[in-house]
Structure 1
Amino acid sequence: MAPRRSIAGHIALVCAGVSVLAVTLTLLFDHFFDSVLLAACIALIVCLPLSLLLARRAVAPALSLFRALAGTALSYRDGDFGFGLRWKHRDELGDLVDAHNELGGVLREQRLSLVQRELLLDTMVQNTPVAMLLVGDGGHVVYGNLAARRLLNGGRKLEGLALETLLAAAAVPLREAVQRGGDGLFAVGEGDEEEVFHLARRAFRLNGRPHELLLLRHLTSELRRQEVQTWKKVIRVISHELNNSLAPVASLAHSGAELTRRGQTARLEAIFATIEERARHLEGFIRGYARFAKLPTPRLEPVAWPLFVDRLRSQVEFVVDGELPDEPSRLDQAQMEQALLNLLKNAHESGSAPEAVTLRVRRQPGLLRIEVMDRGTGMSDAVLENALVPFYSTKRSGTGLGLALAREIAEAHGGRIGLANREGGGLVVVMSLPLPL
């Protein structure tokens, strides 16, 4: 390995050599001309071109290296990282070349990794069943994957086409869903050929300009599977409830017929009362399902909380925590009463003491927060996850509609509902409803 040298040392050595030569020539010419000034001038005239020549030769390789560095920097700017440099001397410029080559290697590896990631991302985006459409601020398509091409342009390229032109040739429900704005479901076709899609749209800025991403997801098969599962669950619940009522009714009817045949009518009144009770139970059961399936659009009207809470108190026992809002809230009184009655009755059935069942109503900025709390046994994580699902119930005689109906009513009012276990035991159900600004 060649010994390391310094550029400064090399320049100092050249300068020292030229200086020694100048002094030597001055002494030599002084011997001939017997004049120190004349000898110095002649030595300067001789050494100056020589020093320029030596300096040019000394910096020529460095200048060549600087040009090469400028060229590779331009290549890096253009995204070409395949160039490398070589410097034969072990000095500061050699360290610069090594660092430059190392930088090029790092950039080359990063570029390769980025290309692989882009290829992977493009493969995933192109082959996803979700149709993706990126639209620029001028209304022209910037990007569309394969699913979007098949859905909107017969599999042909979409980039550069106007979205309005594509929608004009698309199915009417699709065109109306996009023009309506916002997210939502729409169906294309009729009968057995009906296809259900979900449209989601997100706006963002790309390179300083507004863009919109449209996502069209085909939900037909998923919804049909879910529909089958729901029907199976409904049939199981209804069959269980009907069997629990019809079996004793049939047995009691047979017993009543036998007693009538024997002329023993004293027990008939009790038999008929039991049959009536089971029939009314079935009637209430069917009415609950009908109410859930046919929940009408809320009719909002000002509701004063003190009077509303008094009506609830006449039907179920509970304690009010804190002050009720002074200002009326715009609610569908009948629906909200049904929802809170379900929540309060669930609180009583949780094993909580009646005096521990609590209702709290608070107004927050832009939000009405209604809380129903108890000190019962609470819920496990699995039950909490499924408690709001229709027909899901852990009670032996439960229908699984109480919480589901409360959620439907909350969402119909533009709000939401959530459940959580309380510290110290019990459950809190929170209904959050938006307030007009």
Structure 2
Amino acid sequence: MLALALSEWLGNRLLAGCIAVLAALLLSMWLMRRLARPALSLFRALAGTALSYRDGDFSFGLRWRHRDELGDLVAAHNELGGVLREQRLSLVQRELLLDTMVQNTPVAMVLVAEGGHVVYANLAARRLLNDGRKIEGLAMDALVRAAAPALQDAMDRGGDGLFSVGEGDEEEVYHLARRGFRLNGRPHELVLLRQLTTELRRQEVQTWKKVIRVISHELNNSLAPVASLAHSGAELTRRGQTERLEAIFGMIEERARHLEGFIRGYARFAKLPSPRLEATAWPLLVDRLRSQIDFTVDGPLPEEPVRVDVPQMEQALLNLLKNAHESGSAPDQVALRVRRTPGLLRIEVMDRGTGMSEAVLANALVPFYSTKRSGTGLGLALAREIAEAHGGRISLNNREGGGLAVAMVLPVSESTLP
């Protein structure tokens, strides 16, 4: 119609047609832009909220009036924002709780980066290492050098350990623990310093009480019969009845020797020296044990010699084998088994006795704990002390079918083999 009107006015149909087509294109473009403007605004809003999500701001929401595909997209976007807001709030609360716990724990915690600089420290660490001042960004080596020499020695030794600060009544005992891990792809080390003075003193008091009770009980069991026998011997002597004096003196000697052995056992446990490692072949060690007690060997012995303190290891295994014989097991069912695995040596003493209850298993390795009438509670404790002095450990487990298996696990480095 526009072309017909222009052709009448201009008198040229071709020109009128071109003008009409151009006008139609401009009108179509204007209408399309007008219709697409809300959708374009929505896309810009979507891009803005996506950038906000990237920056950690999840407070934005969108609106779309029409119920179409774009409306579904807006609803899904708003739902995603709500989920992210809830997760962010939960994460913030957890971080606040964790930070509160870390800052108020009595354990000093220091996170050290690869270069040796402190990247995080709680309040206890600041008080211990820098009089309460901030230590983030400082060199850990410089902080350690400025602290007590005992801490520096403990750090130089590497690994976990105990060290003491101060002297006399002002002495404080700390436990040092070090753990390495990777954070954001880079190696870090977490250093934990825990004060153990109160716990150790409380445990020390309980241990002394238990020692005094055990020693008092054993002394009374020996001295009371000795006093009674001495009185009886004096009465017999006064009456001139000397024929029973030899038996009385023999019983006094037996009780005195028992008391001497009891005290010697305590002294051996208290004075255990540091192990002196030497290479020893297993057949030789087994022969030394067999000369003192009967047992069988379950499976082949390792061909490689073992580096241990021979007297200490012999004493530990002898204690375990004696316990196995006293468990009610038949002598031919007391066995020793030695297995070698990469980096570990597992020594097991097995029997077919009555085993142990859960309560006894939980306390069997505690010094002075014994279920035997005449036991001192030092056999397993001494074996445990020897195993730990060699860098190992001891575990006890009841066997299927009855009996007990005591395992001594020792670390073995390939570089230390002779």
1:323 aligns to what SS in structure 2?
coil
Displacement, 1:176?
2.3
Question: 1:360 maps to which residue?
Answer: 337
Q: Could you tell me which of 190, 196, 200 is aligned with 1:219?
A: 196
Determine if the alignment matches structure 1 residue 290 to structure 2 residue 267.
yes
Question: 2:305 maps to which residue?
Answer: 328
2:109 aligns to what SS in structure 1?
strand
Q: Could you tell me which of 340, 362, 384 is aligned with 2:361?
A: 384
d(CA) in 2 for partners of 1:239, 1:158 = 53
1:109–1:379 Cα change, 3 Å: same
Determine if the alignment matches structure 1 residue 249 to structure 2 residue 226.
yes
Moved more, 348-357 or 307-316: 307-316
Written as runs of structure 1 = structure 2, the 5 A alignment for 1:189-208 is 189-208=166-185
Displacement, 1:244?
0.7
Q: Could you tell me which of 21, 33, 58 is aligned with 1:56?
A: 33
Question: 1:414 maps to which residue?
Answer: 391
**TM-score relative to the length of structure 1:** 0.90
Map Cα deviations across residues 130-176 of structure 1 (whole Å, 9 max, x no partner).
00011122222111101011111111111122223322321221222
Map Cα deviations across residues 155-209 of structure 1 (whole Å, 9 max, x no partner).
1111122223322321221222223322111000000100000011111222222
1:106 aligns to what SS in structure 2?
helix
Map Cα deviations across residues 314-366 of structure 1 (whole Å, 9 max, x no partner).
22121222233344322222112111111111011101111111112233333
1:266 aligns to what SS in structure 2?
helix
Map Cα deviations across residues 74-114 of structure 1 (whole Å, 9 max, x no partner).
11111111111222222222222221111111111111111
Determine if the alignment matches structure 1 residue 209 to structure 2 residue 186.
yes
Larger radius of gyration: 1
Q: Could you tell me which of 321, 328, 346 is aligned with 1:351?
A: 328
1:310–1:160 Cα change, 3 Å: closer
d(CA) in 2 for partners of 1:333, 1:218 = 36
d(CA) in 2 for partners of 1:146, 1:91 = 56
Displacement, 1:369?
2.2
Q: RMSD in angstroms over aligned alpha carbons? A: 2.1
1:325 aligns to what SS in structure 2?
coil
Written as runs of structure 1 = structure 2, the 5 A alignment for 1:112-261 is 112-261=89-238
Kindly, what percent of the aligned residue pairs are identical?
81
Q: Could you tell me which of 395, 403, 416 is aligned with 2:380?
A: 403
Moved more, 119-128 or 292-301: 292-301
Question: 2:61 maps to which residue?
Answer: 84
Written as runs of structure 1 = structure 2, the 5 A alignment for 1:20-99 is 41=18, 43-99=20-76
The residue identity in structure 1 corresponding to 2:83 is V
**TM-score relative to the length of structure 2:** 0.93
The residue identity in structure 2 corresponding to 1:347 is A
1:398 aligns to what SS in structure 2?
coil
d(CA) in 2 for partners of 1:179, 1:345 = 41
d(CA) in 2 for partners of 1:228, 1:149 = 31
d(CA) in 1 for partners of 2:116, 2:337 = 49
Question: 1:15 maps to which residue?
Answer: none
1:99–1:148 Cα change, 3 Å: same
Dislocated runs of 4+, deviation >6 Å? 26-39
Question: 1:394 maps to which residue?
Answer: 371
d(CA) in 1 for partners of 2:342, 2:177 = 28
d(CA) in 2 for partners of 1:231, 1:383 = 21
Aligned residues: 414
1:371 aligns to what SS in structure 2?
strand
Moved more, 242-251 or 294-303: 294-303
1:45–1:329 Cα change, 3 Å: closer
Instruction: Give structure 2 stretches of 5+ with no counterpart.
Output: none
2:181 aligns to what SS in structure 1?
strand
Moved more, 119-128 or 200-209: 200-209
Question: 1:274 maps to which residue?
Answer: 251
